[in-house]
Amino acid sequence: MSLLKSGTNQMPMFKTDTLIIGGGLAGLSAAKALEGKKNYLLAERSPRPGGLAVTVGKGGFLFDYSGHLLHLRWPRTKALILAALKGNCVTVRRDARIYAHKSWTPYPFQVNLSGMPDRVKSECVRGFLKAYAPKLQSSAPGLQPLALSLQPEVFSRWTKRVFGEGISRHFMLPYNAKLWQYPLERLTTEWCGPFVPLPKPEEVLQGAYGRRRDGLGYNSVFHYPKRGGIGALADALAAGAGGLRLGLEVESVNLKKREAVIRHFGPVSFRRLINTSPLNEFIARTKDAPDKVKRAAAKLRCNTVYVLNLGARGVRSNMHWGYFPEARFPFYRAGIATNFSKKLAPNGCATFYIEIATDGRALDLARAETEVLKDLKACGLIKTSGQVIEKLWLKISCAYVIYNQERVAALPVIFDWLKANKTVSVGRYGAWKYSFMEESIKEGLEAAEKTLT
């Protein structure tokens, strides 16, 4: 890196080969790939590295930005993550449940109807068989009749087509309405593939009238740091990132000139750029983006998630997390993080994470808190509010990107222009998709490695 004089304002111009915007897991992994090979500047605006994968301490408790569990599916990134954690990692078999109709049943709902009242179970099984039968007859031998269609389809129609009326009415529709905070008649289904398990008919029937089914879905086994919360992973990656600078916010970029301006730092000239900040914000900060690219980026939508973290005494449940489809609960998911890492709380205590989504509107925190405590008692996770001894609200302004037709139309416009201007944008928000930590790490690594060839 070298300091030059910029032509315009006489502030010193910082020169680097690669500018990485954002020190979450994607940015940190890009830095890892470049370390010792190319000089780079990794600008992270917050005072801590890790982005959404940080852990915050309060009153002797450690809280993540909601449950952040490692689902490791690719050998290379799995090896990298486990090596970074240096043994500070446990492997856990999921205990996830659903609370509906005043009953608990194991997750996934569609293959664990046995916990539901008979009336609900019959409605779900009947609906599933009705939806399934015609497809079975019409599908070619060897084809999976429940498979996602190739074209994006709207969620409300897809779920009824695939799971039938009952499962849709009692779980898929109310749960997803609460999570996405977006009309399900406009939500498209490209995200469903890895995240919504598609059962065979025998699995639905066995789950309704026979044995519990555990192993279905992407998250049936997960990894998590033994100590330090998920932030331990980000801290481990950050420790090796010589070019990481905290508290540096990239204010604007000009892709043609290959220059950026960083607040309280000054102008930076770069040869290559890897963005991991939210795509819509990045384009808004890009001075030379044409109007049509700016208009496309302005159409991208996301929801907001508020996480109420609680430290509590005397919690008896062994569950890792539970899904709450019913509208009477303001939260869509509640987890007990100490059931996968005891070290997150003092001895004898537990930590809860309770997730409430909005469409961006501010949440009335005091009211939400009262409701949450009442509801945790209603479903039996705590007995009295007096058990709760610590709390911390965390807000994720951009949490789940919304899959809709506008996104389908906007992304090619934006990415074609970025590609023409030799810029990559990766990570959950850089790529503007529903992804997970391992994928952010993979994309960060690969984006940086491409610049080395």
Q: Binding to ligand FAD by residue 241, rule CB under 6 A?
A: no
Q: Is the dihedral of CA 104, 108, 114, 117 positive or negative?
A: positive
CA torsion, ordered 400, 402, 403, 404, to nearest 10 deg: 180
Pick the binder of ligand FAD from 69, 131, 146, 260 (CB under 6 A).
69
176: Cβ contacts below 8 Å, ≥ 6 apart: 155, 159, 184, 187
Q: Binding to ligand FAD by residue 427, rule CB under 6 A?
A: yes
CB nearer to ligand FAD: pick between 6 and 252: 252
CB nearer to ligand FAD: pick between 128 and 182: 182
- Which phi and psi (to 5°) does residue 199 adopt? -85, 160
Q: Binding to ligand FAD by residue 24, rule CB under 6 A?
A: yes
Span 201-230, contacts to ligand FAD by CB under 6 A: none
User: Which span sits near ligand FAD by CB under 6 A: 19-27, 154-162, 294-302, 416-424?
Assistant: 19-27
Alpha-carbon distances of 90 from 226, 293, 309, 427, rounded to whole Å: 6, 44, 22, 25
Q: Binding to ligand FAD by residue 66, rule CB under 6 A?
A: yes
Note the Cα 261 to chain centre separation in Å: 29
CB nearer to ligand FAD: pick between 49 and 145: 49
The residue among 41, 44, 49 whose CA lies nearest residue 17 is: 41
State whether residue 318 is helix, strand or coil.
coil
The residue among 384, 383, 430 whose CA lies nearest residue 411 is: 430
User: Which span sits near ligand FAD by CB under 6 A: 1-9, 115-123, 157-165, 421-429?
Assistant: 421-429
Least Å distance, CB 365 to ligand FAD, is: 17
Pick the binder of ligand FAD from 18, 159, 206, 277 (CB under 6 A).
277
CB nearer to ligand FAD: pick between 73 and 271: 73
Inter-residue contact 294 to 440 (CB < 8 Å): no
Pick the binder of ligand FAD from 21, 125, 356, 414 (CB under 6 A).
21
Span 247-266, contacts to ligand FAD by CB under 6 A: 249-250
Least Å distance, CB 140 to ligand FAD, is: 35
Q: Binding to ligand FAD by residue 322, rule CB under 6 A?
A: no
* Residues found in the chain: 453
Q: Binding to ligand FAD by residue 276, rule CB under 6 A?
A: yes
Pick the binder of ligand FAD from 180, 321, 323, 429 (CB under 6 A).
429
x/- track of binding to ligand FAD for residues 45-64 (CB under 6 A): xx----xxx-----------
CB nearer to ligand FAD: pick between 346 and 393: 393
x/- track of binding to ligand FAD for residues 282-321 (CB under 6 A): -----------------------x----------------
Helices then strands, counting H and E runs in the chain, come out as 13, 19
377: Cβ contacts below 8 Å, ≥ 6 apart: 383, 384, 385
441: Cβ contacts below 8 Å, ≥ 6 apart: 25, 26, 29, 77, 80, 81
CB nearer to ligand FAD: pick between 161 and 226: 226
CB nearer to ligand FAD: pick between 73 and 367: 73
d(CA 277, CA 235): 19
C-beta atoms surrounding 159 within 10 Å: 25
User: Which span sits near ligand FAD by CB under 6 A: 120-128, 170-178, 316-324, 431-439?
Assistant: 431-439
x/- track of binding to ligand FAD for residues 71-110 (CB under 6 A): x---------------------------------------
CB nearer to ligand FAD: pick between 44 and 259: 44
User: For 227, how many CA atoms within 13 A lie in the half-sphere containing its CB?
Assistant: 5
The residue among 395, 436, 301, 402 whose CA lies nearest residue 66 is: 395
Q: Measured over all CA atoms, what is the biggest interatomic distance in the chain, rounded to whole angstroms?
A: 76
Inter-residue contact 397 to 249 (CB < 8 Å): no
d(CA 370, CA 140): 54
Residues that bind ligand FAD in the complex, under the rule CB under 6 A = 21-27, 43-46, 51-53, 66-69, 71, 249-250, 276-277, 305, 355, 396, 399, 427-429, 435-438, 440
